[in-house]
Amino acid sequence: MSDATRDLIRRGKEAFSTHLPDQDFDAHVWEISSLKEQQSISNERIYWTRRGSQDDSLPKHFAAPIKAACMVDLQSCTNLVFRSNAARMLWEHLRKKEDPSSSFRWERLTEGDLRGMEREMLEHWAESTTYKTCTAWSRVLEVLSTASVIRPMDIKWQTSRPEDSERYTLDGQEKRKEEYLPSDRSIEAVAHIYSNDDLDLDSSDRLLSCVTALLTATGLRVGEILTLPVNPLSKSTRNGDTRWHLQYWPEKKGAASKEQDLLHLTERPASLVREAIDEIQEITGSARQRARVLEQNPGRAPLKNLSLDDLITTKEAQGLLGLSSGSPTPRVRRTGIPILEQDREGYKRPEYLCRVADIEEYLQERQEELWTVNPDGKDKQLFSESLFVIENNFFHRTRDMESPLIKTVNHQHIGDFLSGRWTSCEEEHEEAEQRNGEWMRCVVPSIFRRLGLKEKSGSPIEMTSHQFRHWLTTNLVDSGIPDGIIARWQNRSHGGDISAYKHVTRKDRLREVKDAIESGRMKGEIADIYFAMSEDIRDAWLDSHLQQIHVTHMGLCTHDFSSSPCPHHLQCLNGCSDFLFDPADEKQRENVEEIVEGTREAIQLAEEQEGDNAQWMRHQKKVLSNGLKVLESEEDSESSHTQPFEGEGSNFEPFDDDDFIPMEEAMEKLDEETES
């Protein structure tokens, strides 16, 4: 080992003792829960082991410089996981190339080795995962080269961000839709599990089912759900209407968000949220009580009705510590807690006892810090103030009693519930399944597997927590709610931020309009031109003409925004020839009727007021007239899609933000539409 390598390892160990005190730098497992920016982050440990194993350690001479580089340049838990996974793949490549156990030297590392590592990743992982892992590994290489452990390398990874080439193509949109949106069957299964009392689920499954209800109703990220305060829901009254507000800690607004946000809810989703929160509070109540005891006794882990000098049997200690069933004394002894022997009259064998003080010390060393978010912020949220606090053994299927240790629900618990947990297998066997070309074994079955719930194809249902956010956003877009309103409701910084969550593809819209034209249901300029053309070119012309199909709350828009902005500033009833109205769509008709009635009332009120409002009145009267025209065309038309303002000009008139439908009304419309 070179002097440069030794120096880097020395600096890495110094950083390690700061970031992860009381742990062994050379251990093959690192507990990283104390590094978590938020308690909901799923990875509580990382493994410096060979791929597919949690016990077979990477050689010390190979792993130590990587560990040191990670500690010297510690960024985030997620980044640390990517780096350790890259190390495992690099070793896998080196092992296939030759036996590196004794021959490997860091100064001999080549670009070819890194290419081999990348190929190894692509054989087992998705391109997106490979891209993120290689990006994280680039910084490790930089630290190693700066420390003169390896020669400088300017590696250009072959794997690019998949969305760069696919995201905006039709095939890419369809692929993203399948990947990011849950199936209809999975949504039905989630609803079935949550609402069916006959399933007789235990408290842990009920808790996680309530999480899915909150994800469905709010569209929040799972980390935002899991850090909710214990009483997050409030209400206010405005103009006789009750409005509900969900208080939460937003992610992606700086590390460990310093301020809470409010998510505004209409009555129907608020009702579901209230019901789920009530059940969660009941399930987690005992853990919150335990949290208060711990918070009121810093430096201790007091046990109920016991003093420090009391002696209890190893059987009692076994229960308090949540140890597995069986002979209590050997199991307690393995914890390192001192065991005392006390003679018993009439018995040959002594009684085995433990001091409560020793048990408390053991528990205290294993208790997490008592907060969920903002450990360094002024608005610290303790476990006793948190909704998702649980006993340490809460998810143990064989738990006999409550544990005196507490923690919070994390991503891993949700992932296990929705998708299960899998581990690699060396070869095919009875319990193995092929997943992404690799043999895997299910070590924790999902709730769907345990209940026998399957997709229509017969395959087991699997979901991710983030799919709920994509599903809700797509439904909002599908219902005609403008992107700006959705973004504002979800507390996004920019309206364009929802683009990654919209899975109503251009292909879907094109297909709808083309079918309507070809069947003769859609009337207007576009249809007339289409049928006037010869059959061999009309489809190509239509595809090129209908570059974009947009959904509005009143119908469809065929305007190509890539060539010019909206001539009517998003006011379809200002007389736009690109506006398509579907007379068969009752919801579109209701929305137009509401706008017509609202405009008529506004005009009547304005006429009673004095002042110079001539320009505003002209605009409102035009909107009223065009709205009535749309409704008249509906009454007289036998077609499915019409162009109410066919051939009319595109004179721009300014508008006011107040002309938009208020967010609350838009959400209420969505509630009504999705009631079933």
DSSP string, 520-552: T-B-SHHHHHHHHS-HHHHHHHHHHH----EEE
Check pLDDT > 50 for residue 540. Answer: yes
- Write the burial class of residue 5 (CB in 10 Å: 0-12 exposed, 13-18 middle, 19+ buried): buried
Mean pLDDT within 205-230: 92
> What whole-number distance in Å separates Cα of residue 358 and Cα of residue 410?
29
Check pLDDT > 60 for residue 251. Answer: yes
Q: How far is CA 614 from CA 600, 607, 611, in A?
A: 16, 10, 9
Given a contact cutoff of 8 angstroms between Cβ atoms, the answer to whether 31 and 21 are in contact is no
The pLDDT score that the predictor gives to residue 42 is 53
Q: For all residues of the chain together, what is the average pLDDT?
A: 78
CA dihedral 513, 519, 521, 522 (to 10 degrees): 40
> What whole-number distance in Å separates Cα of residue 318 and Cα of residue 320?
6
The pLDDT score that the predictor gives to residue 177 is 59
Nearest Cα neighbor of 138 from 83, 91, 90, 67 is 83
The pLDDT score that the predictor gives to residue 254 is 42
> What whole-number distance in Å separates Cα of residue 428 and Cα of residue 446?
21
Given a contact cutoff of 8 angstroms between Cβ atoms, the answer to whether 425 and 433 are in contact is no
Given a contact cutoff of 8 angstroms between Cβ atoms, the answer to whether 583 and 589 are in contact is yes
Instruction: State whether residue 625 is helix, strand or coil.
Output: helix
Using only the alpha carbons of the chain, give its radius of gyration.
Answer: 31
Per-residue tokens: 389: 């606090």
Helices (H), 73-148: 77-97, 100-103, 111-124, 127-146
Task: Please give the residue that has the higher pLDDT: either 587 or 276.
Answer: 276
Task: Please give the residue that has the higher pLDDT: either 253 or 127.
Answer: 127
Amino acid at 335: T
Cα dihedral across residues 225, 229, 230, 235: positive or negative: negative
Check pLDDT > 50 for residue 41. Answer: no
The pLDDT score that the predictor gives to residue 40 is 42
Per-residue tokens: 426: 């060396």
Mean pLDDT within 411-429: 82
In which band, very low, low, confident or very high, does the pLDDT at 469 lie, cut at 50, 70 and 90?
A: confident
Mean pLDDT within 127-132: 87
The pLDDT score that the predictor gives to residue 400 is 59
Would the pTM count as exceeding 0.85? no
> What whole-number distance in Å separates Cα of residue 170 and Cα of residue 204?
42
